[in-house]
Amino acid sequence: MVTMTPNNDPNSTSPIAGIHPALASALAAKGYSQLTPVQLEMTNEEYGDADLLVSAQTGSGKTIAFGIAIASTLLGSATRFDVAAAPLGLIIAPTRELAIQVQRELAWLYAETQIRIATCVGGMDIRTERRALERGAHLVVGTPGRLRDHITRGVLDLGGIRAVVLDEADEMLDLGFRDDLEFILGASPKDRRTLLFSATVRRGIAELAKTVQTDAVRVATLATTEQHADIEYQVMLVRRDEREHAIINTLLESDSKSALVFCHTREAVRHLTARLVNRGFSVVSLSGEMAQSERSNALQAMRDGRARVCVATDVAARGIDLPNLDLVVHADLPSKPETLLHRSGRTGRAGRKGICVLIVPENRRGAAHRVLTMAQLTATMRAAPGIAEIEARYRRQILDAAVSAAEPDEQEADFVAELLERAGPQRIAAAFLRQNLAAHPVPEDLLPLPAEALQSRGLGNRVRRSGEDHAPTREPRGPSMEDGVWFTISLGRRHRADPKFLLPMICNAGGVTKRDVGAIKIDESETRFEISADKAGSYAWQILQPGSLEKGIRIAPVGEMRAAPRQSKPKFKQDGKPARKHKAPERAPATDRGKPPKHKNRKPKRPH
């Protein structure tokens, strides 16, 4: 695959064959001299003003491609646009984020033509858009619903349209925009040029093309059986109850600068986001219920590095382009190949490599095989990363940071010498190690799958087995500390307590790491655990702070749990719901008042 490669000579302005001179200059000024396959295909002068039905991989540079394709239609032989009046071109995108992204790309691509571009997208101020349209625009970029609204109100006049582009047409059909698209195109001239760009060309797209295009030329830049070379697919088999643990460990093991995690529903997004925040991840979320300002803030946090993980639903993440996104995690397995391809297409863009991980519970293995087969993809089978792998990565990072650190400067030299003299290199190195390890989230302890479960039946012929270097966690956990302080938590075997979820809860409640926790002994109604002596005092103070524990759960030093005074607050059961209070009846029973007793769930006898 030929990728858009920066030109080593930024002053080069040599035109690229088949591209309008004004656009060629803009590309050269940006430092690009090579085009992706779909961009190169759009330079074919044989297409002329024909309608085009184009299929290309998500992230292959389609915006620049259709910008190149419609330049001659909009400009003709001119190098600049005349005074803006009614729009000449229309770009329709499925989401606000994609429409705004398209506007930004075309703005620099057409910068030398003195183009005026107006955006019309849902969630933005409609009055501002109306004023922009009234002032005049050469090109309009918008989403179907808002464009139809402006047309209906008589604000947007499509009478002068020469070219219409439907970007991500398959996604617009999935979102139910077909009626809006047909309405918009029906309001434009019949002799317009119509270009459909889509990642896949299934039956719905073919039917839409017949409706809105005339003798369209089919352009496919890649064979339909060719897998995206820049995306590595991995299937991570996990136990049914360890899906979230596997997601956490996958994010901890990855070196990715930013990651996108997909869930099916808004509630799943909220739940997983809260779980990741509690584990110390810098995370934002995207879902359909969010306001545009919230979505923009979340995306900006990902772009500028304030957040590393974005948890999103399919609809909310459609059309977004995040820089340096090299990891996509499917927390919920997609059921359709189109969904899998669209999700995965957020990474591996413009020549960058990406990894796509499907978290697959054991019982969904067959479903994973089916969706991969329908999408014509081959994946590597692997187990979820274990504690040993993640901690080995932590240590590599700490070692790299220490080796790459600069020599002490003049202001630091005296204090460095004092540290070496008073503490010595061994203790300083140990303190450095502990401080850095404590700054990392604690990985989850996963039970290894049986070896036969990792056989790659139909899911690819490469198998990587990880996480087999640690045995399943059983109570008691860890050796007993010589000077450890014992605490107790009000969860035991009858509450289905397990070290896998107890350990993170214990650590989060008192602000310690798992290295500060010794033995864990699970009894019938409670669990006893050790905290190292140097952390026990701060731990005892931290667990008394509001919000340190979920409702209905208590932690206290051993011996104080039962001796604690009764509180006026209502007690809670382990599920967080208020426990029923049993009070003696204040009135006589119903039978003493001459009324028949009420029997719950007892059906009345049928008359004979």
Note whether 178 and 241 are same-domain residues. Answer: no
> Do 161 and 253 reside in the same domain of the chain?
no
- Residues 6+ positions from 526 with CB-CB distance below 8 Å: 488, 489, 490, 491, 492, 561
> Per the structure, how many domains does the chain have?
3
Whether 174 and 254 share a structural domain:
no
Which residue blocks in 177-307 are alpha helix, DSSP H?
178-186, 203-212, 243-253, 266-278, 292-303
* Residue 534: partners with Cβ closer than 8 Å, 6 or more residues away: none
Q: pLDDT tens digit string along 268-321?
A: 999 999 989 888 899 999 887 787 788 888 888 998 889 999 999 876 666 677
Neighbouring C-beta atoms of residue 33, cutoff 10 Å: 16
Distance of alpha carbon 393 from alpha carbon 493, whole angstroms = 34
> For residue 400, is it within any domain?
no
- Please state, for a pLDDT cut of 70, what percent of the chain lies above it: 79
Residue 95, pLDDT score: 84
Exposed, middle or buried: residue 38 (CB in 10 Å: 0-12, 13-18, 19+)?
buried
Answer yes or no: is 590 within a domain.
no
Q: What value does the mean pLDDT take over residues 322-343? A: 84
The top-scoring range by mean pLDDT among 253-262, 448-457, 476-485, 560-569 is 253-262
Whether the CB-CB separation of 454 and 465 falls below 8 Å is answered with yes
Query: Is the same domain home to 189 and 251?
Result: no
Boundary of a domain, candidates 359, 388, 417: 388
Q: List, for residues 443-473, the tens digit of each pLDDT value.
A: 888 877 665 565 555 454 333 333 333 333 3
Q: Is residue 273 part of a domain?
A: yes
Say whether pLDDT at 360 is over 60.
yes
> 555 pLDDT band (50/70/90 cuts)?
very high
Residue 479's pLDDT is: 52
Say what the pLDDT of residue 229 is. Answer: 64
What b-and-e string marks burial along 426-450, b requiring 16 or more CB atoms within 10 Å of the CB? eeeeeeeeeebbeebbbbbbbbbbe
Indicate whether 274 and 333 sit together in one domain. yes
* Whether residue 361 sits in one domain with residue 245: yes
Distances (CA, A) of 571 to 27, 378, 401, 560: 67, 53, 49, 17
Strand partners, 91: 141, 165
Q: What is the pLDDT of residue 595?
A: 46
Q: Is residue 125 part of a domain?
A: yes
359 phi, psi to nearest 5 deg: -80, 115
Instruction: Answer yes or no: is 586 within a domain.
Output: no
CATH of the domain at 142: 3.40.50.300
Print the domain residue range for 148: 21-220
Asked if residue 374 has pLDDT above 60, the reply is yes
Ranking 217-221, 457-461, 500-504, 543-547 by mean pLDDT, the lowest is 457-461
* End position of a domain, from candidates 518, 534, 557: 557
Cα gap 489→498, rounded to integer Å: 12
Verify that 495 and 352 share a domain, yes or no: no
Compute the average pLDDT of residues 168-197. Answer: 90
Average pLDDT of the residues in 379-394? 87
Does any domain span residue 379?
Answer: yes
Q: Which residues pair with 234 in a beta bridge?
A: 357, 380
476 prior amide bond cis, ω within 30: yes
CATH number at residue 549: 3.30.70
**Would you state the pLDDT for residue 222?**
58
Q: Is 196 in the same domain as 331?
A: no
Does 111 share its domain with 156? yes
- 258 and 366 in a single domain? The answer is yes
From 557, 581, 600, the end of a domain falls on 557
Task: Please check whether residues 279 and 163 belong to one and the same domain.
Answer: no
537-569 per-residue burial string, b: 16 or more CB within 10 A, e: under 16 = eebbebbeeeeebeebbbbbeeeebeeeeeeee
Residue 540 lies in a domain: yes
Residue type, 450: P
Q: Which of 152-156, 262-266, 434-438 has the highest mean pLDDT?
A: 152-156
**10-19, 119-128, 223-232, 500-509: the lowest-pLDDT one:** 10-19
Q: Highest mean pLDDT range out of 233-242, 550-559, 572-581?
A: 233-242
CA angle in degrees (0–180, nearest 5) for 439-424-406: 60
**Type of residue numbered 27:** L
Residue 20 predicted with pLDDT over 60: yes
251 and 354 part of one domain: yes
In a domain, 531, yes or no: yes
Quote the CA–CA distance of 570 and 552 in Å, as a whole number: 9
pLDDT band, very low/low/confident/very high, at 516 (cuts 50, 70, 90): confident
How does residue 410 score in pLDDT terms, banded at 50, 70 and 90?
confident
